[in-house]
Amino acid sequence: MLSAGLAPSATAIDAQSEQWYLSAMKADEMWKVSTGKGVKVAVVDTGVNPNTSSLKGQVLAEAPAAVAYKATEDYDGHGTSMAELIAGTGAGGGLKGLAPDAKIVPYRIATNALVGKADAKKAPELADVIRAIADSDAKIISMSVTSDIDDTEELAAVKYAQSKGKLMIAGTGNDAQTKNFIGYPAAYPYVVGVAASDKAGTVGKFSEHGNYVDLASPGLNVPLWCDNTFKSYCNGEGTSQATAIASASAALVWSAHPDWTANQVLASLIDTAGRDWAKDDPSTYLGYGLIRPRKVLEDSGYKPAAAGTDPLATENAAGVDDSSASPSASTSSQAPKDTSGGAASAAGSSSESSDDTTMWVTLGAAAAVLVIGGGAFAVIRARRRA
């Protein structure tokens, strides 16, 4: 499995000063309404270190024994970074999470950092982890991982989790400049595929595109731990960070509206996403647009969609279109989906423009060219498969 994050830069940084998206998304205003309290987010990654200054008291070791192997030990630093982006307190100069009162339930799966080591054989499979979370009280499953393998057991687990009311969010992947393969679990039905954007609303040139992209979220120049020594933060970019921030956005909305279903939370984020094209004509780069939870939280009279209406029904019924994938990449066995109307630019016209056309703060001409953005070499992480 590929990490949904690119290699961080080698230069240590002051993490909080680099969290540009908090001000861009007007986090201070959102926190007056919701901080994510009462929402548990399952982070499926490389494990989570609960002892960083920003995560003390934020991590719940609640994974069932069968899938809990070393869940609170992070062999890479990646999972801890995602947890902090979601629910970090900011203590000790650590990352301030977008949903600082949400709680993290960690799950550890094997990647190629464990290949050849005894731990790789003991780490649970993704399908087993998803099923375990489905039977828990965690509301959101955040998966900053991606693979080009369409696995029937994973698909069955995803469908089970959907039937249990979970909101599943995953990064689309970072190989757009090479293979641009279809990324799973993001491409499975009922999973929200998240692309990575910068502060101008521009999609990173590494960010995978296709008709399984549902939303875009901040993912460029977003800080994370440099490595598993947890001594310093570095700047990084990738759909990993975008996934974590999207998961935190969902936690904010769900905390403010605890009686809503996963469908209603997702539908509200799709409805209020920043875009300059018709909502029923999603972009293959940005999906339904740039995530803006503030637009839901600030509207006390917001009316949610029907509880049982799937906001991704069209995609889920039609399947994934593999036409944008490289011939060298593994392709999906699912039925193709027509993407002839997918918008490739955020500068297209739309009668559904919001009252202020803000994406993070503004949607300007910089958003028109979607394939401009930071790039770096990908860190290949292969999940163990039987």
Tell me which residues are annotated as active site.
45, 78, 240
Q: Distance between CA 25 and CA 27 in Å, rounded?
A: 6
- DSSP 8-state code for residue 114: G
Neighbours of 139 (CB within 10 A): 23
Closest residue by Cα to residue 243 from 187, 186, 178: 186
For tokens 């740039």, name the residue.
Answer: 290
Q: What is the DSSP string of 177-245?
A: TTT-PPPBTTTSTTEEEEEEE-TTSPBPTTS--STT--EEEE-SSEEEESSTT-S-EEEE-SHHHHHHH
Closest residue by Cα to residue 374 from 202, 223, 233, 240: 202
- The answer to whether residues 362 and 197 touch, using CB atoms and an 8 Å cutoff, is no
Q: Distance between CA 143 and CA 111 in Å, rounded?
A: 13
Closest residue by Cα to residue 108 from 48, 56, 22, 191: 48
- The answer to whether residues 238 and 4 touch, using CB atoms and an 8 Å cutoff, is yes
Q: Distance between CA 174 and CA 303 in Å, rounded?
A: 35
Q: Distance between CA 2 and CA 199 in Å, rounded?
A: 25
Q: Distance between CA 58 and CA 89 in Å, rounded?
A: 8
Q: Which two tokens stand for residue 135?
A: 């039977």
State the Cα angle at 375 between 188 and 320, rounded to 5°: 20
